[in-house]
Amino acid sequence: MPQAISDRYELLEELSHGGMGDVWRGYDAVLDRPVAVKLIRQASITSPQLAEEFARRFRREARITARIQHPGVPQVYDAVLDASYERLFLVMELVDGIPLTGYLHPGRPLPVSWAAAVAAQVATVLSHAHDVPVIHRDLKPSNILVARDGTAKVLDFGIAAILRTDVTKLTATGSPIGTHQYMAPEQVRGGSITPQTDLYALGCVLHELLSGRPLFAADSEFLVMYQHVNAAPTPLRELRSDVPEALEELVLHLLRKAPEARPEDTQAVYARLLPFIPPPGQEPGAGEAGPAGAPDPTAVFRRPYAPRARARAGAAAAGDPAPNGVAAPGVQPVPVPARLRADIKEAYEHAEALLEEERFAQAVEVLGEIIEPAARALGSESKQVLALRRRRAAIRLLGGDYRAALPEFDTLADAYARSAGPTGEQARACRAQAARCRAELGQVTDALAALQGVLNVVRAVDSDVSEEAVELRHNIGMLLLAQGRAAEARQVLEPLHQDMCMVFGPEDELTAEIAEALAVIRLGLDGDTPGPPHR
């Protein structure tokens, strides 16, 4: 079983390992949502007094950090410090993004607009933090993620304050505490920390984004720290000629040694970055594209408050491999290895247990983890893999995640149609479920057409009062009623009610529900002339 914190947060997978702590992908068992859990490494606590002081500082910083309300700051959900003071956790929003370190390569500096867009977003985040006031103290590329929609997310606010990494610069062994490549001179000296300390670090980050290399480099960490205090930074245009002069001047201004000599505040920095950020509506030009496959941080400026991108028609569900290894009709399917069979069984059992607790999101995750290895071993359209994907889609539907369930049911319907024919029971069921997702998403016309199409097939191969046909007829009638098409709904529901009374009796739960709907229709609330009472 996964490790649990406070009988609520399960640690599932370590995402990163750093000097200040480890980050885990976890699950909140109470609210059924994924979370990030940061295990913070604290200095050795040698007395009850130190433990109590540390606990106070931890709670204070966690509360202050939680007050930063901005999309660029992952939300803090919880702060957990156990009685021994040995386990210290921050539970936060899990961000799907890639740190800036993934885009930093010597000789491949980033486009000017890309780097400026990241810096402008970070400046905006810092402006909200400094207003609380919260000073980050450890801004660096690994603490800045670019999410899939291009939003820059700044991580680890308050962590340095909790650990007081700006107070003691060297340990007993001479190793610096903190991130020396981005330390402002006043941090190296152990001086007072101000918002301008974060501006210096932002200058280091922007210099590195535009040049592809750290501001200072040396054989030892001590020499790098010495350079931050004493050495002049290399102007960007000496490293890269296409950097605009005004942008070079801004970076040099951010990197001044004295805090009071840097820009007044983040608002001033943002204003000076605006000329290098694409205006709304402007499409990327030649040379403006970032790394292949990377999110685009300029998108939030090019298309502010844009709606989410439309789903590609017929696209496979996210995370599923492309069809391969499909067994042709009459060909012996690939046998399931014993180990894989056991893993699939365990995944089903785990998912069902989670489902009992209405932890839909985690149940989906559990099935997703077995689908990929099963597809590699058996083929993505093998019977076992399709069954796993169908169960995952059904759980998404039960949990109300219709947007994710819809493409999965569509691709499953196509896969079942290829293997067993378009009128087969499994293809029909998946098309009906896809239609129900469309109805929930407001695509009522398409949903009605799809449900009627499936019903026509069912009527051709089975009884009009089969369980499948009754459910489809009921869905169609209630959708029509919800659309205010009372007369059409009545034409569907009255014969269905007669069939239900004959086969299942008037006391049946669904029969009674249909009778209530017909009673509402006969009130004529939608302007139809009330009809005679049903007998």
What residue ranges do the domains of the chain occupy? 3-92, 97-280, 401-459, 462-535
Q: Output b/e per residue, 1-35; b: 16+ Cβ within 10 A.
A: eeeebeebbbbbeeeeeeebbebbbbbbbeebbeb
Query: Which tokens is 146 given?
Result: 């670019």
Residue 156 is a catalytic residue:
no
Report residues of the chain scoring pLDDT below 50: 1, 165-177, 313-332, 528-535
The answer to whether 290 touches 103, Cβ cutoff 8 Å, is yes
Query: Which tokens is 8 given?
Result: 């609520």
The answer to whether 152 touches 297, Cβ cutoff 8 Å, is yes
The DSSP bridge partners found for residue 263 are none
The pLDDT value given to residue 390: 95
Give me the phi and psi of 317, to 5 degrees please.
Answer: -60, 145
The pLDDT value given to residue 96: 83
CA distance 87 to 40: 8
Q: What does CATH list as the number for 3-92?
A: 3.30.200.20
- The CATH topology of domain 97-280 is Transferase(Phosphotransferase); domain 1 (1.10.510)
Query: Which tokens is 481 given?
Result: 């009623």
The answer to whether 114 touches 92, Cβ cutoff 8 Å, is no
The answer to whether 2 touches 20, Cβ cutoff 8 Å, is no
The answer to whether 133 touches 61, Cβ cutoff 8 Å, is no
Residue 17: what residue type? H
Where does residue 293 fall: left (phi above 0), alpha (psi -120 to 50 degrees), or beta otherwise? left
Q: Which of 138, 198, 320, 499 is catalytic?
A: 138
The pLDDT value given to residue 146: 92
CA distance 102 to 493: 58
Whether this prediction's pTM lies above 0.85 is answered by no
The pLDDT value given to residue 259: 92
